[in-house]
């Protein structure tokens, strides 16, 4: 059932999260069956039907252990996924004293809507990106890159924080973490089976006169097909994550900040500058923008920036400035005080004029020129 509104989207996310967890166990069972089928084909000379039945018996015997192992994986990922992501990205939690600008922007957004404030984390990267993680209110956190803080003004940073807060409110973050857990578990088991195959780990005892004719070859082909399908499903499973979540998060940011132009300009600045070196595809799928694309948008987890901006222009009344060029990083610091061009309290006044305009716009006051 498609999700057409915010509340139906949230309910859909909950249903999908449960379905994905159930699907994880089914995929693991398929991998165990593939392993058992390969082992029987290498150890027993029999027709394919006999091998399939023996592999099924092996699966039934191994099911409790497979279930326990998968459940343990889910529990570990539930409690420690943030630690693993931080280790991968280098994100570190920051306080108000360390990041007063960022902390105050997020705190104000949370207070305005009565939202429990998530943890704030910063990762050292020149990329412009941010993502949210967590499974419950005690775990939720928002991580932003240092590059995003340097290159975006306050209104734009606020819009990105609003985007991530909306993902948390809508349940998107929880579902993304579940998808990452599934992809990790299936990939792990599939890779384990491939390694066992290549290194002969499944070779069982054989009699000297054994002939592995008959159904052995077909059984192994079936096992390989099962592993390949399960492995591919661990990637295709992200298609269960509706890309409408990004449009809804953009709209939620505008609802929080009342500033569609800030969300648009943030997306335009992030566009083409969001790649996180060393980050896995699972982490990139959580980000504001994921530049890793293929086959048009068919297998992309995020709509294109152009389509997101077009939606904000059409439905939120924003204005699209088009692709934006960024000045060098050292020039950003000088402009961060005031995006309107007005100097800050320690900047020098414009030549020949007062701090707020040229001589023609003001009379000689205590800060303006004095004609003689």
CB 155 within 8 A of CB 257: yes
Residue appearing with tokens 């069972």: 29
The residue from 40, 158, 164, 285 that is catalytic is 164
Write out the E strands in 127-251: 130-133, 141-145
CB atoms within 10 A of CB 258: 10
Q: Which two tokens stand for residue 215?
A: 């159904």
Distances (CA, A) of 74 to 25, 65, 161: 10, 14, 28
Q: Which positions ≥6 away from 316 have C-beta within 8 Å?
A: 251, 254, 260, 263
**Catalytic site includes residue 331:** no
Q: How far apart are CA 337 and CA 228, in angstroms?
A: 54
Distances (CA, A) of 343 to 44, 102, 273, 348: 82, 22, 28, 7
Local structure of residue 288 (DSSP, 8 states): S
Radius of gyration of the chain (CA): 27
Q: Which positions ≥6 away from 7 have C-beta within 8 Å?
A: none
Q: Give per-residue burial for 227-245: e unless 16+ CB within 10 Å, then b.
A: bebbbebbeebbeebbeeb
Max distance between CA atoms of the chain, in angstroms, equals 115
Q: How far apart are CA 236 and CA 229, in angstroms?
A: 10
Q: Which positions ≥6 away from 214 have C-beta within 8 Å?
A: 45, 46, 47, 48
Q: How far apart are CA 178 and CA 16, in angstroms?
A: 10
Q: How far apart are CA 279 and CA 271, in angstroms?
A: 17
So which residues are the catalytic ones? 164
């Amino acid at each position: 059932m498609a999700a057409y509104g915010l509340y139906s989207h949230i309910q859909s996310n909950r249903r999908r999260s449960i379905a994905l967890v159930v699907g994880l166990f089914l995929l693991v069972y398929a991998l165990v069956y593939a392993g058992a089928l390969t082992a029987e084909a290498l150890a027993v000379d029999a027709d394919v039907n006999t091998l399939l039945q023996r592999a099924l018996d092996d699966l039934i015997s191994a099911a409790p252990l497979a279930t326990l192992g998968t459940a343990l994986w889910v529990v570990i990922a539930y409690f420690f996924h943030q630690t693993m992501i931080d280790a991968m990205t280098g994100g570190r939690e920051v306080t108000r004293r360390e990041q007063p600008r960022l902390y105050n922007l997020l705190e104000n957004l949370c207070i305005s809507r009565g939202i429990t404030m998530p943890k704030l984390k910063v990762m050292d990267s020149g990329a412009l990106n941010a993502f949210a993680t967590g499974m419950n209110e005690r775990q939720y956190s928002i991580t932003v890159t240092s590059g995003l803080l340097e290159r975006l003004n306050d209104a734009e940073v606020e819009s990105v924080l609003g985007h991530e807060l909306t993902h948390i409110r809508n349940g998107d973050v929880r579902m993304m973490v579940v998808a990452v857990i599934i992809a990790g578990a299936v990939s792990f088991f599939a890779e384990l089976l491939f390694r066992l195959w290549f290194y002969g780990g499944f070779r069982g005892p054989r009699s000297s006169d054994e002939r592995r004719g008959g159904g052995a070859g077909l059984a192994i082909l079936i096992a390989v097909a099962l592993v390949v399908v399960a492995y591919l499903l661990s990637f295709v499973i992200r298609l269960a994550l509706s890309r409408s979540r990004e449009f809804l998060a953009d709209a939620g940011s505008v609802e929080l900040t009342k500033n569609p132009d800030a969300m648009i300009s943030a997306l335009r600045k992030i566009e083409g500058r969001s790649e996180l070196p060393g980050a896995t595809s699972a982490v990139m799928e959580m980000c504001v923008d994921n530049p890793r694309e293929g086959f048009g948008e068919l297998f992309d987890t995020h709509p294109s920036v152009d389509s997101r901006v077009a939606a904000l222009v059409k439905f939120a009344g924003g204005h699209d400035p088009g692709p934006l060029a960024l000045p060098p990083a050292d020039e950003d610091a000088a402009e961060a005080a005031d995006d309107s061009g007005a100097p800050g309290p320690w900047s020098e006044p414009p030549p020949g004029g007062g701090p707020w305009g040229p001589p023609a716009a003001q009379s000689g006051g205590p800060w303006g020129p004095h004609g003689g």
